[in-house]
Amino acid sequence: MAVENDKEKTHLPADAGKQSQDKATPATNPAGGSQNVHAEGARFEGFMAEIVGLEKVRTGIYGEIKQAMCKILEGRDKGRVIRRNFAGRIKKGDIVRLPDTSREDKRIVAR
């Protein structure tokens, strides 16, 4: 009987018996952002924001940084629009997660 159980276990995926930490229950933090509560304690995830506008000017050594206007969707700054820099592909209408809403990037001025 023990041999059959060992054979059955070998056919299961490696993570089949483990519980995933990603499936935690969402809660809200007093500041208004989202967080996941784990056995180790609370982990802050950030604030959701929607891209409402993109600047035509790019920055960075290779022009890989784009500047976007983000509308905060949750938290104490809900509805506020701030300017942030992003690396990678981004377009108007995307939903992003920002670590904080207190910091705003300076406007890029083309020379």
Residue closest to 108 by CA, chosen among 78, 88, 89, 86 = 86
Residue 111 domain-assigned (yes or no): no
Q: Which domain holds residue 85?
A: 2-98
Q: What pLDDT score does 40 carry?
A: 57
**Does any domain span residue 104?**
no
Average pLDDT over residues 28-32: 51
- Model pTM? 0.58
pLDDT of residue 111: 72
Domain count across the chain: 1
Residues in the chain: 111
Is 106 among the domain residues? no
- pLDDT at residue 43, rounded to an integer: 72
Tell me, what CATH number does 85's domain have?
2.40.50.140
Structure tokens at 29: 């933090």
- Amino acid (1-letter code) at residue 22: D
